[in-house]
Amino acid sequence: FDTPPVLSNKQRYIFNQLPQWAENFIKTIITPTNQIGFLIQLGYFRIVCRFFEPLQFHQNDIFYVIETLKRIDPNAIDMAIYQQSSSYYNHQQVILNHLGFSPFSLDKRAMLLNEAQRLTHLQIKPTNILDLCMTFLRERRIEIPAYSSMQNIIHNAFSDYEIYLEKTLDKH
């Protein structure tokens, strides 16, 4: 969940299938590291609606994108520098804006907690709640957060449900 998806050779074509805005944007990026970082972030986000740390990017995906661009020296790519740069975060904002997604923020967290609470009251299994919460976010075009955030929200929803049950039992 917290690592980028492992892509088959066929799935890697997503790095080549760029929307026009991305084709235009990549031309404005100066450094090879930032070009590669942007393309991989865009590809992963289009697949799983999440961002990952550049040091987690799969080497096969990096090499694939380097080969696709052809004019980039593999030795010039440094994902550690990209991860520490403001470009890493700026690219995420560009991707979210152009794909029509909202970042996962405090208000989105509260919205997701409400949904998780609703699902716990329906007595749905925790693993199913996780899947339904991810679907909830995708349908509303909201970035999917890290697993720890999702786990925390679902745990809080179950804790709230337990308190609700205890209060109900106390009344009777």
CA distance 51 to 144: 8
Angle at 27 between CA 22 and CA 29, to 5 degrees: 95
* Residue 82 binned pLDDT confidence (cut-offs 50, 70, 90): very high
DSSP state of 102: B
State the average pLDDT over residues 142-155. 94
pLDDT in tens, 9-54: 899 989 989 999 999 999 999 999 999 999 999 999 999 999 999 9
Nearest to 42 by CA among 6, 3, 2, 4: 4
**Percentage of residues in the chain having pLDDT higher than 70:** 100
Count how many Cα atoms sit within 13 Å of the Cα of residue 13 in the half-sphere of its side chain. Answer: 2
CA distance 150 to 129: 10
Q: Are 9 and 58 in contact (CB under 8 A)?
A: no
CA gyration radius, the chain: 20
- Pull the structure tokens for residue 165: 């049950």
What pTM value is reported for the model?
A: 0.86
* Residue 153 binned pLDDT confidence (cut-offs 50, 70, 90): very high
pLDDT reported for residue 102: 97
Chain mean pLDDT for the chain? 92
Query: With 90 as the cut, is the pLDDT of residue 172 above it?
Result: no
* Residue 74 binned pLDDT confidence (cut-offs 50, 70, 90): confident
pLDDT in tens, 106-137: 999 999 999 999 999 898 888 899 999 999 99
pLDDT reported for residue 14: 92
* Residue 151 binned pLDDT confidence (cut-offs 50, 70, 90): very high
Give me the phi and psi of 26, to 5 degrees please.
-60, -30
